[in-house]
C-alpha cells in the first residue's frame, strides 16, 4: 500500500527509490573517481619533487629542475581535468552565454565609478597610514621609550 497510483500524478515509491539510489551511486562513483585523480596528481608532483632533489639530478641546472617541476604540475593538472573535460567545455560555453547577458555600464558611468573607487582607496590608504603611525608612536615612543 505504500505505492501511489499513477493516475494521481505520482510515481511509485519503488521508482523514486531506484532513481535516488542510482543518483547516490553516481555521486559515490564521482567522489571515488575524483579522489583517485587527486591521489594520482599528488603522486606525480611528489615524485617530481623527489626526482629533482635526488642524486640523479645532483648538480643539475636549476633550469632543468624548474622545467621538470613545471611539467609535472602541468601533467597533474591534465590528470585532474581529463575526466571532466566535457563538463569543462560545457561550463566555458555557458560562461560565454552568461557573459553576453550582462548589461555593461556606459563609459561615463564606468569612468565616474573608477574615479570614485580611486579616491576612496586613496583616502583609506591615508587613514590606515595615519592610524599605523599613531599606534606606533604611542606604543614605541611613549610607552616603551624606544625612539
Q: Are 48 and 69 in contact (CB under 8 A)?
A: yes
108 and 81 co-located in one domain: no
107 lies in the same domain as 92: no
| Residue 11, pLDDT score | 56
**115 vs 55 pLDDT, higher one:** 115
Model pLDDT, residue 142: 81
Q: How far apart are CA 147 and CA 137, in angstroms?
A: 9
Residues 91 and 107 in one domain: no
- pLDDT tens digits, 74-98: 888 888 777 666 777 788 899 999 9
Question: Across residues 116-136, what is the average pLDDT?
Answer: 97
Give Cα 23 to chain centroid, integer Å. Answer: 26
Number of structural domains (the chain) is: 2
Residue 50 near residue 56, CB atoms below 8 Å: no
**71 lies in the same domain as 97:** yes
28 in the same domain as 10: yes
Range of the domain at 147: 103-147
C-alpha cell at 123: 583616502
Angle at 73 between CA 71 and CA 78, to 5 degrees: 95
pLDDT at residue 117, as a whole number: 98
Task: Note whether 57 and 119 are same-domain residues.
Answer: no
**Residues 17, 76 within the same domain:** yes
- Asked whether residue 61 falls in the same domain as residue 125, the answer is no
Residue that has been written with the C-alpha cell 617541476 in this structure: 69
* Claim to verify: residue 139 and residue 114 sit in the same structural domain: yes
Are residues 124 and 58 part of one domain? no
As given in the structure block, the three cell numbers for residue 5 are 497510483
Q: What is the pLDDT of residue 37?
A: 81
Q: Are the C-beta atoms of residues 33 and 83 closer than 8 Å to each other?
A: yes
Amino acid at each position: 500500500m505504500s505505492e501511489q497510483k499513477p493516475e494521481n500524478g505520482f510515481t511509485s515509491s519503488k521508482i523514486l527509490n531506484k532513481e535516488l539510489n542510482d543518483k547516490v551511486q553516481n555521486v559515490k562513483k564521482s567522489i571515488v573517481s575524483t579522489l583517485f585523480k587527486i591521489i594520482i596528481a599528488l603522486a606525480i608532483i611528489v615524485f617530481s619533487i623527489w626526482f629533482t632533489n635526488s642524486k640523479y639530478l645532483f648538480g643539475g641546472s636549476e633550469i632543468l629542475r624548474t622545467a621538470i617541476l613545471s611539467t609535472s604540475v602541468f601533467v597533474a593538472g591534465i590528470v585532474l581535468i581529463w575526466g571532466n573535460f566535457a563538463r569543462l567545455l560545457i561550463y566555458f560555453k555557458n560562461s560565454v552565454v552568461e557573459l553576453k547577458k550582462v548589461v555593461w555600464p556606459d563609459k561615463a558611468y564606468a569612468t565616474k565609478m573608477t574615479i570614485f573607487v580611486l579616491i576612496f582607496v586613496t583616502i583609506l590608504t591615508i587613514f590606515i597610514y595615519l592610524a599605523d603611525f599613531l599606534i606606533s608612536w604611542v606604543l614605541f615612543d611613549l610607552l616603551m621609550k624606544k625612539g
